Structure 1
Amino acid sequence: ALGWLVWRHNRRVGGLLLLLAVAMGVARIYVGVHYPFDVIGGWVLGIAAAETWYRYGEPRALPVMQGVARMLARLGLA
């Protein structure tokens, strides 16, 4: 999420942070700490949260993210 927000402001530094995030995710899969879909899901949720925050700001993003959390809880995913 942090890499995505930085990328929205500075593509070079943000790209480096996103590359490091991918490397960390691959490493965690390699050592057996996570399954691939755990890491992919984390990337998707992180980017979605960061993009929501970037587009709508804190006051409007918080209810959106709370709604997502309630939906995931109902599905048994959180």
Structure 2
Amino acid sequence: MNYQLFQSIHNLSGHSTILDDIMIFFTNYALVLYAICLLGIWFLGGNKSKRNALYALGTGIVALAANLIISKIYYEPRPFVTHHDVHTLIKHAEDASFPSDHATGSFAIAFALWARNRKIGVPMIILAIITGFSRVWVGVHYPFDVVGSIIVAAIVTFIICKLERFLNPILDAIIKFYNSLFGRKSKGDYKKSI
């Protein structure tokens, strides 16, 4: 079933150079787009926005660490390794396929932002969906790899949200230190959000 779903998506590739290029762009640069978004949230917003950016970054890092542990416990070969008739649109190492690091990082950041700011979170989730879809389109992941990534990201986001009262003082100290270094006066702008 997983391979059949993979084929139904991956077989869409190779028919349109424009679509293939779009999918290759998202599969290669989605995490760069997320980094730019987080930097924008950090530099353009107030202290609350900075806190949101730190939560999103931290959630992404923890989710990727969870992926590393999962891949050591359960190894799933990539589609192009198991099925030699798969023609990928990009070159990729023959490492573990499950879960997708790109999709996990994208969804973890998106879910963390959505939990704190719906206006930013919704477009980030859409970007994460495109990223996950693109990983299958280009032939480096199965659909269930992306589903697994969504589950990992959701669980990590939920746990971090539950730990907020313990984490807030640490993040506030980081923000206060940053503001003191760069001469920005705190105006009690925790109400301000990007």
Which residue of structure 2 lines up, in the alignment, with residue 66 of structure 1? none
The residue type equivalent to 2:132 in the other structure is G
- Secondary structure of 1:32's counterpart equals coil
The residue type equivalent to 1:29 in the other structure is V
Displacement of 1:57 after TM fit?
A: 3.8
Q: Which has the larger radius of gyration?
A: 2
- % identical equivalent positions: 32
Runs (4+) of structure 1 exceeding 3 A deviation are none
**What is the count of residue pairs matched by the alignment?**
59
1:35 is aligned, of 142, 146, 169, to: 142
Displacement of 1:50 after TM fit?
A: 1.1
Instruction: Give me the TM-score of the superposition, normalised by structure 2.
Output: 0.29
Instruction: Give me the TM-score of the superposition, normalised by structure 1.
Output: 0.69
Displacement of 1:58 after TM fit?
A: 8.7
**More relative contact order, 1 or 2 (CA 8 Å, 6+ apart):** 2
- In structure 2, stretches of 5+ residues that fail to align are 1-107, 167-194
Q: Is it true that 1:22 corresponds to 2:135 in the alignment?
A: no
Q: Report Cα offsets for 1:13-72 as digits up to 9, x if no partner.
A: 10111110000000111111100000110111011101111112496xxxxxxxxxxxxx
The residue type equivalent to 1:8 in the other structure is A
